[in-house]
């Protein structure tokens, strides 16, 4: 699997270094490495932003 060039550039330019390997994952934990990148070329606009908002809301203290 090849990362899209903008993603590889972002990783390199932000101190994550050169991409050594890209492997598609099916579910599971994103905590298996130093960086986890989630891609979905068919995603509706702002899908990942909405998901991030939902995860932040879930992490907030109840009440």
Range of the domain at 52: 5-59
**Tokens 């990148």 sit at which residue?**
37
Q: How many domains does the chain divide into?
A: 1
Tokens of 32: 């298996």
pLDDT in the model for residue 7: 83
The predicted pLDDT at position 41 comes to 77
pTM of the model: 0.45
Dist CA 25 CA 50 (whole Å):
21
Judge residue 36's burial from the number of C-beta atoms within 10 Å of its C-beta, 0-12 exposed, 13-18 middle, 19 or more buried: exposed
Helix, coil or strand: residue 17: coil
For residue 53, the model assigns a pLDDT of: 92
pLDDT in the model for residue 5: 86
Q: What is the pLDDT of residue 33?
A: 59
pLDDT tens column, 4-53: 888 888 888 888 777 777 777 666 565 655 667 777 778 888 888 898 89
The closest alpha carbon to 16, from 39, 41, 30, 33, belongs to: 33
């Amino acid at each position: 699997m090849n990362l899209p060039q903008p993603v590889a550039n972002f990783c390199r330019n932000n101190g994550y270094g050169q991409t050594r390997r890209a492997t598609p994952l099916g579910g599971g934990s994103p905590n298996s490495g130093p960086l986890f990148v989630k891609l979905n070329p068919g995603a509706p606009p702002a899908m990942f932003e909405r998901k991030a908002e939902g995860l932040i809301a879930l992490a907030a203290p109840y009440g």
